[in-house]
Amino acid sequence: MVQLASYSGVPVSVCAHTMTRSASMNELLQRVASGGDAEAYRKLFQSYAPRVKSYMIRQGADAGTAEELAQETLLTVWRKAALYSGEKGSATTWIFTIARNLRIDRLRREVPWQELPDGHDEEASTDVPPDEQLSDKERSARVQAALAELPPDQHEVVVLSYIEGLSHSEIAEKLGVPLGTVKSRMRLAYQKVRESVEDLA
């Protein structure tokens, strides 16, 4: 269990299955972005590195490689922090995309064509007053709730795609179902979860 120092009066422990205090994670990343705040970075590292390590293991890395890739993901967070413009962007989404691209590059040894989001093209908030916007933590809870409600066969293909890193053909082979079935399960899953990832609620 990692004890994080408090930055709003209450000590926070990070060991539960959901990461607490994401909104504050955005603030921490902002502090790293604007001033190179090493203490803020240390907290980000403690929160995210163990999850990136888990992600890399699920993507097929051995523990040693997963640890290196977690270190490297967090180094990239430090180096590229200035590219993150955080009022609207989620720190977790940004760090997830860094981990995803690194995994494509190192574990699959392919070119990651996906660009990192910088928060500028997020469509949040222009029409919604700030006090009515969902916090990052609330948004994320809403997505997680929508995912939890998916029928098991749809949930399965989403996990295999995002967390195990399997292509549609690989999923079809693993599950012994036609490719078209995998695609239609993905489509149906997205239709159901999409509303939860809209910015304007």
Partner 1 sequence: MTIKFHPDSATLMSFASGSLGEALSAVVAAHVEMCPRCAAEARRMERIGAAMFEQLAPTPMSSAAEPTAALQTMTKERPARAANRDEDTDADMPRTLRKIAGPELDRVPWRRIGIGVWHYPLPLSPGAKGDLRLLKVAPGQAMPEHGHGGAELTLLLRGSYRDEIGTFQTGDLADLDDDVEHRPVADLQDGCICLIASEEKAKFRGLMARLFQPLTGF
Q: Are 169 and 179 in contact (CB under 8 A)?
A: yes
Residue 26 within binding range of partner 1, rule CB under 8 A: no
Give the footprint of partner 1 on residues 98-157 (CB under 8 A): 99-101, 103-104, 108-115, 117, 121-123, 139-140, 143-144, 147
Nearer to partner 1, 7 or 78 (CB): 78
Residue 193 within binding range of partner 1, rule CB under 8 A: yes
- Shortest approach of partner 1 to residue 16 CB, angstroms? 9
Per-residue binder mask for partner 1 (CB under 8 A), 49-68, x = binder? xxx-xxx-xx----x--xx-
- Shortest approach of partner 1 to residue 129 CB, angstroms? 21
Give the footprint of partner 1 on residues 163-192 (CB under 8 A): 163, 165-170, 179-180, 182-184, 186-187, 190-191
Nearer to partner 1, 3 or 169 (CB): 169
- Shortest approach of partner 1 to residue 4 CB, angstroms? 13
Nearer to partner 1, 128 or 163 (CB): 163
- Shortest approach of partner 1 to residue 124 CB, angstroms? 10
- Shortest approach of partner 1 to residue 64 CB, angstroms? 8
Copy the structure tokens of residue 194.
């999409």
Nearer to partner 1, 42 or 133 (CB): 42
Tell me, letter by letter, the H, E, C secondary structure of the chain. CEEECCCCCCCEEECCCCCCCHHHHHHHHHHHHHHCCHHHHHHHHHHHHHHHHHHHHHCCCCHHHHHHHHHHHHHHHHHHHHHCCCCCCCHHHHHHHHHHHHHHHHCCCCCCCCCCCCCCCCCCCCCCCHHHCCCHHHHHHHHHHHHHCCCHHHHHHHHHHHCCCCCHHHHHHHHCCCHHHHHHHHHHHHHHHHHHHCCCC
Per-residue binder mask for partner 1 (CB under 8 A), 65-94, x = binder? -xx--xx--xx--xxxxxx------x-xx-
Distance, in Å, from the CA atom of 47 to the CA atom of 15, rounded to the nearest integer, reads: 9
Which bin fits 104, alpha (ψ -120 to 50), beta or left (φ > 0)?
alpha
Residue 12 within binding range of partner 1, rule CB under 8 A: no
